Amino acid sequence: MFMDTLVKKITPESLALAKRLIEEEQLVAFPTETVYGLGALATSEIAIKRVYEVKGRPSDNPLIVHVHKDYDISKLVEVNENGYAKKIAKAFTPGPLTMVYKSKKRVASSLSCGLETLAIRVPQSKEAQEFLTFVNQPIAAPSANISKHISPVTAQHVYQDFNGAIPLILDGGRCQGGIESTVLDVTGEVPVILRKGLITAEMIKQVVGACEYAEETVTQKAKSPGMKYSHYTPNCSTALFERNEIEKGVALYEELEGKGKKAVFLVDEEIALLLGSRRILHLGATGEQMASNLYDLLHEGEKYDCIITFKLNLNSELMLSVNNRFSKAFFKAENKK
Ligand code: TXA
Ligand code: MG
């Protein structure tokens, strides 16, 4: 549709172009502190339809609405002034947290897929705030990747998936958080985490005393529809081993190299130390480092014939969030191939 997608650093000119495109119901990719979003005017059915088409996203998976920090969200959702949600919003937003409220149905109905709720996110990064403030409209934005592919953390990743399909990518460099926001349902008695992320249950408990994980409380149906789909799949072959199967991983690496194929290890620091001078993509040592590096390294790993990896040490709540994405990239890929 578009001959070539523009990739522009954030300047007054590129923001003006972004605003015009959004108002014309076109799509603009923009950086946040988690991953890049594929932005669309949340009140436009036409723009929302484009998002689902361009991504190849299942039509029953609702979108998050992004607003700037001074936007009055009570225009869009029911906010209980005295409830726990207010305290959570005060403590963690702007930030990598998406809150699911009861909707006032002021946005395009296809965006919320018939749900009575609406997910709102106030991102923290300077670039996201600049874009949202300049546009000054609620912006629906899923991660800016083709459905099921790895989420993008650089403008280049977005370009690889959407060159020719969208008119503009705002380039704000690499996203530092690295995994998508925590999705938190605040419509019930206690807050419930529907998607794990950088804000953990422990952090929320410290502010309001309680917080549950949906996996523990909801068994019948996935409350966050997106969680039932496979995600983050690299476009190359992958192999996942237990942490005590180093020899097996090394044997596969050597076998592939013997056949003239290029293999690469994607591992944390503890395992990297055991792999000698072989090709390694370093996830890092802490939960923060691994969250920040995971998608970037999955994209890097796709340049090889095979990514070889080992299960992660689940020694913190944040590592559970990282592992949520890691396991989708590797367990599913393993089953498929
Ligand atoms: O960090 C992020 O959240 C990024 C950046 C761009 O902000 N966005 C993002 O969007 O990850 P997406 O569409 O890839 O994931 C949104 C998740 C999906 O799992 C979706 O099912 C869930 O949020 N969701 C959206 N609206 C919901 C609602 N009303 N109730 C429950 N879950 C909802
Ligand atoms: Mg996504």
pLDDT at site 214 = 92
Q: Report pLDDT digits (tens) over 260-307.
A: 999 999 999 999 999 999 999 999 999 999 999 999 999 999 999 999
Q: Which residue has the tokens 């199967």?
A: 245
Q: What spacing in Å lies between the alpha carbon of 98 and ligand 2's midpoint?
A: 13
Q: What spacing in Å lies between the alpha carbon of 224 and ligand 1's midpoint?
A: 8
Could you give the percent of the chain with pLDDT greater than 90?
A: 90
Q: 91 pLDDT exceeds 50?
A: yes
pLDDT at site 337 = 41
Q: What spacing in Å lies between the alpha carbon of 305 and ligand 2's midpoint?
A: 25
Ligand 1 atom nearest to CA at 38: 6
| Confidence band for 331, pLDDT divided at 50, 70 and 90 | confident
Residue nearest to atom 13 of ligand 1 (CA): 142
Q: 326 pLDDT exceeds 50?
A: yes
Q: Report pLDDT digits (tens) over 19-44.
A: 999 999 999 999 999 999 999 999 99
CA gap 93, 71 in Å, rounded: 12
Q: What spacing in Å lies between the alpha carbon of 180 and ligand 1's midpoint?
A: 8
Residue nearest to atom 32 of ligand 1 (CA): 224
* Strands laid side by side in the 280-284 sheet: 237-241, 306-310, 263-268, 280-284
pLDDT at site 336 = 45
Could you give the percent of the chain with pLDDT greater than 70?
A: 93
Our mutation pick for probing the ligand 1 site, out of 33, 35, 57, 64, counting the most ligand atoms within 8 A of Cβ, is 64
Q: 225 pLDDT exceeds 90?
A: no
Q: Which residue has the tokens 């917080």?
A: 211
Ligand 1 atom nearest to CA at 36: 6
Find residue 98's DSSP bridge partners: 121, 183
Residue nearest to atom 33 of ligand 1 (CA): 224
pLDDT at site 229 = 63
Q: 332 pLDDT exceeds 80?
A: no
Ligand 1 atom nearest to CA at 144: 6
User: CA torsion sign, 295 to 148 to 66 to 92?
Assistant: negative
| Confidence band for 228, pLDDT divided at 50, 70 and 90 | low
pLDDT at site 217 = 43
| Confidence band for 220, pLDDT divided at 50, 70 and 90 | very low
215 is written with which tokens? 């996996």
Residue nearest to atom 15 of ligand 1 (CA): 142
| Confidence band for 3, pLDDT divided at 50, 70 and 90 | confident
Q: Which residues contact 273 (CB under 8 A, 6 or more apart)?
A: none
Which ligand is nearest to the Cα of residue 186, counting in written order? Answer: 1
Q: Identify residue 145 by its one-letter amino acid code.
A: N
Q: Which residues line ligand 1 (CB under 6 A)?
A: 32, 34-35, 37, 61-64, 98, 100, 112, 115, 117-119, 121, 123, 141-143, 180-181, 183, 194-195, 223-227
Our mutation pick for probing the ligand 1 site, out of 76, 92, 93, 98, counting the most ligand atoms within 8 A of Cβ, is 98
CA gap 34, 291 in Å, rounded: 9
Query: Could you tell me the pTM of the whole model?
Result: 0.94
pLDDT at site 160 = 97
Rounded to an integer, the average pLDDT of 52-81 is 96
Contact 266, 309 (CB under 8 A): yes
